[in-house]
Amino acid sequence: MLRVRTHTPRIDDLRWAKPAHQARSQRTLELLLDAAEAEIREKGYADASVAEIARRAGCSVGTVYRRFRDKTALLHALDERWGAAFRATMEDAVAPERWQGAPILEVLTGYIAFTLNEGHERAALQRAAITMASRDASFAERQMKLASELHAGLRALLTARIDEIGHADPPLAIEFALEQLRAMLMLRLATLPLEATLFGNSDEQFIDQALTSIAAYLKLEPLSA
């Protein structure tokens, strides 16, 4: 059996980025978005209450509606903030210097482990965004752009290590492997409305089996013990 590490110290210092507040006038907006995020995490988007969001933020319902015409507009603002944080985090996560000297399996271990950790915490928000993306082109466009940027960063990291790949067509194999991992992660994090058997095992087991599958497809050498 292929032995892979399910942890890499290269992501120990990687944290979800939060863009700096630009001015004090942003304070109320940030409080509202923090409150909306907490409310959606706990109850889901459908059951999130504008009144409860206002209470959490320490302001009136009227203050919410002065800034946002409805709950959908609030979710748009939340998604835009999430997108900015995602982009800042991603740029750090796929920086070549972070992975200098690391083999492909270690790069993919970091990608999967960090995605799972953050995905579990933001599952309700991500499901809300995916639901909105099916109804609103701007949501879909933001998500597709961010996914494309992440894919490009990961592709560059794997392409720089193309000599490790034994597959007959390495560029094609890289594309297929990244798409396969993305689909598995979406199922694992329940962001796809499909039944799957990927829930009954631990994250460590999931990572091990996902990497075993990808390593066999790419024809990689296992990580040394």
CA dist 199 and 179 (Å) reads 20
Per-residue confidence in pLDDT tens, the chain, 225 aa? 455 555 677 777 665 555 555 554 578 889 999 999 999 888 888 899 999 999 999 999 998 998 899 988 888 898 888 888 888 989 999 999 999 999 999 999 999 999 998 888 777 777 787 778 788 888 888 888 989 999 999 999 999 999 999 999 999 999 999 999 998 898 888 655 556 565 678 889 999 999 999 999 999 976 554
Domain 70-218: state its class. mainly alpha
CA dist 183 and 200 (Å) reads 17
In this structure, which amino acid lies at residue 208? D
pTM, 2 dp? 0.78
**Do 53 and 47 form a contact (C-beta atoms < 8 A)?**
no
In this structure, which amino acid lies at residue 203? D
pLDDT of residue 163: 95
pLDDT of residue 177: 97
pLDDT of residue 5: 56
pLDDT of residue 111: 94
DSSP for the chain reads -----S--GGGTT-----PPP--GGGHHHHHHHHHHHHHHHHH-TTT--HHHHHHHHTS-HHHHHHH-SSHHHHHHHHHHHHHHHHHHHHHHHT-GGGGTT--HHHHHHHHHHHHHHHHHHTHHHHHHHHHHHTT-HHHHHHHHHHHHHHHHHHHHHHHTTGGG--SSSHHHHHHHHHHHHHHHHHHHTT-SSS--S-SSS-HHHHHHHHHHHHHHHHTPPPPP-
CA-closest candidate to residue 158, choices 96, 90, 205: 96
pLDDT of residue 17: 54
Q: Which residue has the tokens 């032995």?
A: 3
